[in-house]
Structure 1
Amino acid sequence: MNTIAEHIADFLKKYPPFDNLTFQELTEISLSIRVINLEKHKVLFQINDALHDSFYVVASGVINLSVIADAEETLLNKCYEGDIFGLRPFFAKNNYMMTAKAREETIIYAIPIATFRPFVANNSDVLDFLLHSFASNTSNPSDKENTRGSLISDNVYYSEQQSEIQYFQSLTYNVTPIISTASSIIQEVAQLMTNALSTSAVVCENTFPVGIVTNTDMCAKIATGRIPISSTVDKIMSSPVVTVVENVSLAEAQLLMLKYNVTHLCVTQDGTDKSAVKGVISEHDLIVAQASNPGVLIKEIKRSQNPKDLKSIRERLTELIQKSIHKNIPLSHVNNLASEINLAIIKRSVELSILDLGSPPARFAWLCIGSQGRKEQLLTTDQDSILIFEDVTADKYRDVKDYFLKLGKRTTSILEKIGYEPCPYGHMGSNMLWCKSLTDWTNQYNSWMNTPGENSNELSSIFFDFEIVIGEKKIEEAIENVVYNNLRNNTLFFDFLGNDALKRNSPLTFFKKFNVEEKGPNKDKFDIKTKALMPLIDGARLFSLSHSMRGINNTYLRFKQLAMADPKNSEVYLNCAKAFLILSKYRTMEGLKNDSSGQYINLLELSKADKEIIKSALAPMDELEDLIKNKFQLTQFS
């Protein structure tokens, strides 16, 4: 038995966070580990299953983690040798939120949580690794190169679900806590706490925290007469103190309070008790922070009466995006959050216009297209929208169209005041070309898809990324049906879209240098939107349309879904999904820094390492291009 435990300990020692433990500790843990053999396609746990008493490490083989959304199974991640998954029972009480299934014959180690927990409590590096992963859905958080041995979170927030802002929401807390020494008299400290309306005092030795006294200690130990009020504070303080770093998130703070069963956390310079105290987080601070989650922001949006109110909410969203990127939160989380709030702002803008104009004379749907339609709008880029109203009799058509054009103009003007620039190509509901009846729109899509390149309104592929903001869902579904009915055996349309996806200039030169702008105001800058992100967006759209995938417009999720639908090429799609997030992050950082759309990256301001990260994210594009040419029998000159 011991030789098996040693063999397991040897294996674990190679991967984080186990590499922070001694061989002796690992052998002790290994004695209680169960070895599980899973046959191909065997399910270990699935969505809504009750939590197990263990978490898991892949010893050999591959585990697929997936969720079901809109009755479709979507692959979220693959776990290989050394990867940890199934951490949910460690931190949460509710059931599993995903399914874990063996992709091939797989051996996994089940590590009992009861056995492992003491080792976590005694080792802050192990705890940080687990917390960071659970809270932020990253792979191995300490490892940017993503070598094996990563953590796959069980906290998956799907675009259909309420975005979980608390996983990257910073906390406001008391930055001037009461400080006392171990020899301070309890009565004096109690007086200080009362005067400052504080629920705690930190006990320090040479500025380092050694204990904490809270209202609870005062009630349980002094008010009951167990310890006289004239005693010194060290007789009632809780020690050691649970310490955290300065930019701890709401979720991390909640998890730590739950884990250690405490009501206060001490904020220190480096997050340990060997550095100076910077503040104290109380349970009350967590309750206050909960009040500014997306639900609350969306309630504020619904109550807004003018563009000025909406503009201030949009600015708060920008701050939130900035903080989350600074905290290395996965972009897919941030996207979910931003898209919910962006769509709520646009919806309220349409409602404010209706309040001015009076009730619409017919049912309608306002659809966002382009980046808003794909739920990828982190920065305030330009507006893209279309307006569809139901069919009316010929004698009413003119008046009805006039009303909706006015609605379009008023709404785009409100959105401009909030900070969304008008679309330079006029793709907006205020343009009479893009504000028309359902039959006119049906004819438009039929024409685009059956005779692409031949009609006067040139086909723009962004019209195939749409999301309803307000109005009649059935109208959006009718347009969706027109699109999907026209896809069958439509080689002409796919030839057109495929060539459109291939016509962009390569992001790198023959000598692997960035293909920068040669003239104009952005001379020597790299156009990350056109040269890097658009080929991925176009490729994801092209393949998801060819697979008739409904209801998934987001580029990252399209690639994830394609990896499930076409396992033979799953690696290409998963690489593209990852590349899309990396490139989007650099674009967003550029945009936040310069208050711009982030389209043009100033390469002089990037470190050598950043340039290399971007270059390696461009690598999957060649594979995607080859896939397009092979699948649709294209050459770039067809």
Structure 2
Amino acid sequence: MIALAARGRVKFHEPDEYICWQSSPHTFFIYVIQQGSVSLWDEAANPPALRDIRGAGDCIGFERFNGSPASLHSAKAATEVMLYALPAADFEPLLARHPRAAAYVSASSAVTADYAAASERPLPHETFLADLLRGRAPVCCPASAPIRVAALLLSVSGADALALMDGEQLSALLTASDLLRWVAGGAPDPEQSARNIASATTVTVAPQTMVSDCVLAMAEARTSAAALTSDGSRGTTIHSVVTAAGLAPAFGDHPVTMLQEIAVALDAASLRALNLRARSWIRDNLAAPPALDWLASWADVVNRRILERLLQITGAHQSDSLFCFYGAAGRQELLTSLAPGIAVIGAAPPSLDTALAECGYLSPESPVVASLDEWKARFSGWIRDPIRTQVYGSHPFFDLRPVHGPGHVFDELESHVRAELAAEPAFLRILANDCLSTLPPLTFFRDLVVEESGEQTDTFRLESSTLQPLVDVARVFAIASGNPLGASTRQRFQQARRLLPAQEAIFREAAEAMRIVLFHQARAGLRMGSGGSALPPRPPGAQELLPFHPQSAGIHRAVRLDGGVLIWAPETPVEQVRFVVLDSETTGLNPRKDRIVTIGAIGVLNHEVLIEDSFEALLKVEYNSSAVTVHGVTREESLVGLDEPEALMQFLAYLDDGVIVGHHIGHDVETFNAGYERHFGFRMPNPSLDTMALTLHLERDGAFAGRDPIQEFSLDALCTLFDSIPHDRHTAPGDAFMTALVFQRLLRLAAKHNRTTLARLLEPFEP
């Protein structure tokens, strides 16, 4: 339990702030209410209905352990609320070791493993294939049986496909389409083996396969049938044959059927109708962010098949040209009706953009066409001379992915790009620096979007302000990992986790943030018939509040791959700065003469106190002083501590780029600097912030209007002001933690009084 708490964080919420949203995927934390009360709302009701009130000691998020895939209710702060956020992945194993805790969690929410609201139909990504096909035995015949016999068996059984067997082992699947192709070819020799006309590709799936995964497998294999076997291989028992008709109960309009219709569409008008049906179907099935992953893949298949059919209709499908998607389509992140960006290595048919518009796509652009040598030259120019060639506008071409044509052409281009990147390592730094040109908004406030510049608008520029920064950062790490082209943003964050395992938590949360942002973009775009690039912070008719990613500042800091200390610019938004709240106990009050006894520090980022980002050290002291009566550490007890030089270097490594915060912090900073000068000949370069000075600023700003006048500015007095209960006073870790809680509240007040940048926080107080 101690280890669990050590990896947690402390969050503060003002009244009416959301903690989690109904039907949204669970965060990485469960929450314990330390102070205040939280209301739980059913926002699916009209009007929203209050379901529960929870107070100090109660928990939020336990339903995940009882089978619920998403939050059952929206949780909103009813008063000022302080929460302990504990990692859910670390909490769950404890339930197996503590039966009473498991019983408590089980009783905390009435949710079963297959929980679903009574009015909800299970979605494809939530439905096991075996459950959908239960009781449907396969129609089988020997693979050596004549075509005539197999056709008769299909006709009599009414099945769409039958399993051709070699003894007990599956040989192939014969579909009605296979028979039609045979008939169209003149129906030669009906006595020949049915195996001769069956498709060469046989898709097999296991019982635990989700319906969504089966659809994608059938789509990629271009087949209308699959075999359900004991373990997903041909060599085990076959339980059922999956066809479009068998999958129909899980869908309205059927995704496999739509793809089959696209493949035989006669003209652009037919493709337009199918494209509109596909977008409508995606919108209906995009009920929650977890559905996005497979629907994005299916939307990509739709885009590819429409392009392929257009090329067939125009007669360009047999050319030697390679057609690629770039930008959002290249990353498989295009679910709306926006036209995919198309790049061609070779020649393209005329008026392809017009044809895409006729197929129902929005804002199609002419394909970017060049020979292989010209594409190589373009990438060389972007990488070798990024400033002059304005590489910033060419970033989407680093999302290039082949979709139709000779694959070896793309392999040659990608090898060339890798070689150029290896020869120009400085390009990666330039690309990383470009990531900082667009940052997410600071916050939502009273239905307005507050941008980094301080501008307030009623429109949330979803793509440019939130989606694009995540895409750009992920692209940098993909290139650093040696994979410069053609992967989704979430796949690229997975590569980043392997590249920088110490930052795994940041990249995991970034991938989840990308999923949520893309979900809202797709929902908005499909609903409004647009690309979903902008939306109001609270769309009419629903409270689709976009949960901002708490580690976005950490992502941008991680882009600085040079490993040096980051010097914060004065205009840096407060939410992006890592603060290190410091407290130390010393042998006296003379920084030059006295020595450090204990050090306690804890990180604060984006208004959260990060318990996992903490530091604690005991130092050896040579003598007892009168200060022992305050901190209680004697010379004898300190003998197990660190030598001063070692402790100072460990703290400096922990401090990194942090802005030092403390109550009456000047004494601590001077004592530390005296130690650094004594042993190493330098002083800490980090700026520092005194919580007392910030409190005085805020009092002058009127932040405490309506409260009793502040009589004193001690740490105990500020704890009383904010109803924080002091713990472990006059110990360095305890005082650092209490100061962090006070600082957390001061930051909220500072934001309301235009102290939103580091420079505004660091302003010296002049009486």
In the superposition, the TM-score normalised over structure 1's length comes to 0.50
Question: Structure 1 or 2: larger helix share?
Answer: 1
Matches within 5 A, 1:354-369: 354=315, 360=319, 363-369=320-326
Alignment match, 1:347: 308
The offset of 1:377, in angstroms, is 0.5
The answer to whether the aligner puts 1:412 opposite 2:353 as a matched pair is: yes
User: d(CA) in 2 for partners of 1:552 and 1:591?
Assistant: 24
User: d(CA) in 2 for partners of 1:605 and 1:566?
Assistant: 37
Alignment match, 1:503: 437
Matches within 5 A, 1:486-525: 486-488=420-422, 490-508=424-442, 514-515=449-450, 524-525=458-459
User: d(CA) in 2 for partners of 1:287 and 1:619?
Assistant: 40
Q: Is the 8 A contact 2:497 2:508 kept in 1?
A: yes
Alignment match, 1:125: 112
Q: Is the 8 A contact 1:507 1:514 kept in 2?
A: yes
Task: Please give the secondary structure, in 2, of the residue aligned with 1:377.
Answer: coil
User: d(CA) in 1 for partners of 2:433 and 2:131?
Assistant: 41
User: d(CA) in 2 for partners of 1:505 and 1:338?
Assistant: 28
Change (3 A) 1:466 1:318: same
Q: Is the 8 A contact 1:17 1:126 kept in 2?
A: no
Q: Is the 8 A contact 1:516 1:527 kept in 2?
A: no
The offset of 1:500, in angstroms, is 1.7
One-letter amino acid matched to 2:282: I
Task: Please give the secondary structure, in 2, of the residue aligned with 1:564.
Answer: helix
The offset of 1:308, in angstroms, is 1.1
* CA deviation profile, 1:113-172 (whole Å, cap 9, x unmatched): xxxxxx9xxx9834327999997768xxxxxxxxxxxxxx9x8xxxxxxxx9x999xxxx
Q: Is the 8 A contact 1:515 1:526 kept in 2?
A: no
Q: Aligned to 1:623, which of 554, 561, 571?
A: 554
User: d(CA) in 2 for partners of 1:442 and 1:450?
Assistant: 12
User: d(CA) in 1 for partners of 2:381 and 2:486?
Assistant: 24
Change (3 A) 1:453 1:352: farther
The offset of 1:458, in angstroms, is 6.7
Task: Please give the secondary structure, in 1, of the residue aligned with 2:329.
Answer: helix
The answer to whether the aligner puts 1:387 opposite 2:344 as a matched pair is: yes
The answer to whether the aligner puts 1:547 opposite 2:534 as a matched pair is: no
The answer to whether the aligner puts 1:454 opposite 2:411 as a matched pair is: no
Q: Is the 8 A contact 2:459 2:537 kept in 1?
A: yes
Q: Is the 8 A contact 1:353 1:410 kept in 2?
A: no
The answer to whether the aligner puts 1:602 opposite 2:559 as a matched pair is: no
* CA deviation profile, 1:223-281 (whole Å, cap 9, x unmatched): xxxxxxxxxxxxxxxxxxxxxxxxxxx959x9xxxxxxxxxxxxxxxxxxxxxxxxxxx
One-letter amino acid matched to 1:625: H
* CA deviation profile, 1:269-300 (whole Å, cap 9, x unmatched): xxxxxxxxxxxxxx997465489644332222
User: d(CA) in 2 for partners of 1:137 and 1:82?
Assistant: 24
One-letter amino acid matched to 2:278: L
User: d(CA) in 2 for partners of 1:488 and 1:284?
Assistant: 48
Matches within 5 A, 1:208-357: 286=246, 288-289=248-249, 293-326=254-287, 329-354=290-315
Gap regions ≥5 residues in structure 2 = 1-60, 68-85, 100-105, 133-209, 215-242, 570-767
Alignment match, 1:81: 91
User: d(CA) in 2 for partners of 1:550 and 1:626?
Assistant: 21
The offset of 1:539, in angstroms, is 0.4
* CA deviation profile, 1:316-365 (whole Å, cap 9, x unmatched): 1112211112366521121111111122112222222226xx953xx210
Task: Please give the secondary structure, in 2, of the residue aligned with 1:380.
Answer: coil
* CA deviation profile, 1:402-445 (whole Å, cap 9, x unmatched): xx25x1x332211111122345xx5x42xxxx312111111111
User: d(CA) in 2 for partners of 1:307 and 1:561?
Assistant: 39
Task: Please give the secondary structure, in 2, of the residue aligned with 1:625.
Answer: helix
* CA deviation profile, 1:452-482 (whole Å, cap 9, x unmatched): 1213787510000012121110111111111
Change (3 A) 1:285 1:107: same
One-letter amino acid matched to 2:528: N
Change (3 A) 1:328 1:133: farther
Change (3 A) 1:465 1:384: same
User: d(CA) in 2 for partners of 1:349 and 1:517?
Assistant: 44
Q: Is the 8 A contact 2:327 2:397 kept in 1?
A: yes
The answer to whether the aligner puts 1:372 opposite 2:307 as a matched pair is: no
Task: Please give the secondary structure, in 2, of the residue aligned with 1:603.
Answer: coil
Report the more deviating stretch, 298-307 or 321-330.
321-330
User: d(CA) in 1 for partners of 2:64 and 2:334?
Assistant: 35
* CA deviation profile, 1:465-512 (whole Å, cap 9, x unmatched): 012121110111111111211222633311221122111154226989
Q: Is the 8 A contact 2:262 2:271 kept in 1?
A: yes
Gap regions ≥5 residues in structure 1 = 1-13, 21-60, 63-77, 84-105, 112-118, 139-152, 156-163, 169-249, 255-282, 390-403
The offset of 1:559, in angstroms, is 1.3
Alignment match, 2:408: 474
In the superposition, the TM-score normalised over structure 2's length comes to 0.42
User: d(CA) in 1 for partners of 2:124 and 2:562?
Assistant: 36
User: Radius of gyration: which is bigger?
Assistant: 2
User: d(CA) in 2 for partners of 1:334 and 1:598?
Assistant: 16
Please tell me the root mean square deviation across aligned C-alpha atoms, in Å: 4.7
Change (3 A) 1:470 1:311: same
Runs of 4+ in 1 over 4 A off after TM superposition: 14-20, 106-109, 129-138, 283-293, 456-459, 509-513, 606-609, 630-637
Change (3 A) 1:285 1:382: closer
Task: Please give the secondary structure, in 2, of the residue aligned with 1:371.
Answer: coil
User: d(CA) in 2 for partners of 1:18 and 1:621?
Assistant: 28
* CA deviation profile, 1:56-104 (whole Å, cap 9, x unmatched): xxxxx99xxxxxxxxxxxxxxx954327xxxxxxxxxxxxxxxxxxxxx
Q: Is the 8 A contact 1:167 1:251 kept in 2?
A: no
Matches within 5 A, 1:134-153: none
Q: Is the 8 A contact 1:452 1:459 kept in 2?
A: no
Identity %: 18
User: d(CA) in 1 for partners of 2:391 and 2:437?
Assistant: 20
One-letter amino acid matched to 1:323: D
Task: Please give the secondary structure, in 1, of the residue aligned with 2:115.
Answer: helix
User: d(CA) in 1 for partners of 2:434 and 2:328?
Assistant: 18
User: d(CA) in 2 for partners of 1:627 and 1:133?
Assistant: 42
User: d(CA) in 2 for partners of 1:587 and 1:133?
Assistant: 24
Task: Please give the secondary structure, in 2, of the residue aligned with 1:597.
Answer: coil
Change (3 A) 1:516 1:587: farther
Change (3 A) 1:635 1:419: farther
